[in-house]
Amino acid sequence: MIEKLKTNKNQLSKLMIISFVVAFLGGQDAVISSIRYNQLDLINVINFKIEEKYNKKKDGANFPDLNFKGKIMTTGKEQEIKVSRGDFDNHTIGEIIEVFKTKSGEFMTQYEINNQRIIHIGNKGFSFVFIPAFIFFMIGLFSLFVILK
């Protein structure tokens, strides 16, 4: 079977390149989202009151970060939280939303968690996009090995 695949090296090369490109484009966010999700403390819900909404563009960035500034209701501590476009559009100033804190001190909103469509394998959660990105990566790797043999 591998000999049959080797005869179509041109097509296999295209498949390999497309697979790696898809894995690269989809995999980055999926990996970051999966890591952040697995660091969340999902037991301790934090109520956050939105006092200000704004976007802030960092030097060299293509798109601005969307942010909420407000207070953590239990402590009264002022906090700035980077949010997704969906959160930014769906929530208003004065609204109280549920957020969760990661071990690294980042915050994720309930909307972001639901939007990731987490799949649990064992005691770890993976973003839904992670699995197809991993499959495309493996297809690209298999194609590379066939071409090199």
User: What pLDDT does residue 99 have?
Assistant: 87
Does this model's pTM top 0.75? My answer is no
Q: What is the DSSP string of 110-149?
A: HHHHHHT--EEETTEEE-TTHHHHHHHHHHHHHHHHHHH-
- What type of residue is 38? N
| pLDDT tens by residue, the chain, 149 residues | 556 655 577 777 888 888 888 888 777 777 777 877 777 777 788 898 999 888 877 776 677 778 888 898 888 888 888 887 878 888 889 889 888 888 878 888 888 777 777 778 888 888 777 778 888 888 888 888 887 77
111-127 CB burial, b ≥16 within 10 A, e <16 = bbbebbebeeeeeebbb
The two structure tokens encoding residue 7: 């005869």
Other beta carbons within 10 Å of 30: 21
- Judge contact between 144 and 16, C-beta under 8 A: yes
- Give the Cα separation of 26 and 137 in Å (integer): 10
The two structure tokens encoding residue 23: 């894995």
Tell me if residue 8 falls in helix, strand or coil: coil
Domain boundaries, the chain: 9-38+123-148, 46-101
The two structure tokens encoding residue 115: 């939007």
- Give the Cα separation of 134 and 149 in Å (integer): 23
- What type of residue is 143? S
User: What pLDDT does residue 3 have?
Assistant: 61
- Judge contact between 137 and 19, C-beta under 8 A: yes
Q: What Rg value do the Cα atoms of the chain yield, rounded? A: 21
